[in-house]
Amino acid sequence: MSDYNFPKIRHKLEDALSEKRYEHTLGVAVTARMLARIHGVDDEAAYAAGLLHDCAKNLSAKERIHMCNKAGVEVTQLEIDNPELLHAKAGAILAAKEYDIKDQDILNAISSHTTGRPGMSELEKIVFVADYIEPGRDERPGLKELRAEAFRDLDGCVLHILDTTLKYLGDTAKAIDPATRETYDYYNGIAH
Among 113, 126, 129, 158, binds ligand DGI (CB under 6 A): 113
User: What is the DSSP code string of 34-61?
Assistant: HHHHHHT--HHHHHHHHHHTTTTTTS-H
Establish if 177 lies at the interface with ligand DGI (CB under 6 A): yes
Residue 51 contacts residue 9 (beta carbons within 8 Å) = yes
Among 145, 175, 188, 190, binds ligand DGI (CB under 6 A): 175
Cα distances (angstroms) measured from residue 12 to each of 16, 22, 150: 6, 10, 29
141-148, long-range: CB within 8 Å, 24+ apart, which pairs? 141/168
Q: Name residues contacting ligand DGI, limited to 93-112 (CB under 6 A).
A: none
User: DSSP secondary-structure letter at 159?
Assistant: H
Establish if 54 lies at the interface with ligand DGI (CB under 6 A): yes
Binding mask 125-164 for ligand DGI (x = CB under 6 A): ------x---------------------------------
Establish if 79 lies at the interface with Fe ion (CB under 5 A): no
* Footprint on this chain of Fe ion (rule: CB under 5 A): 54, 131
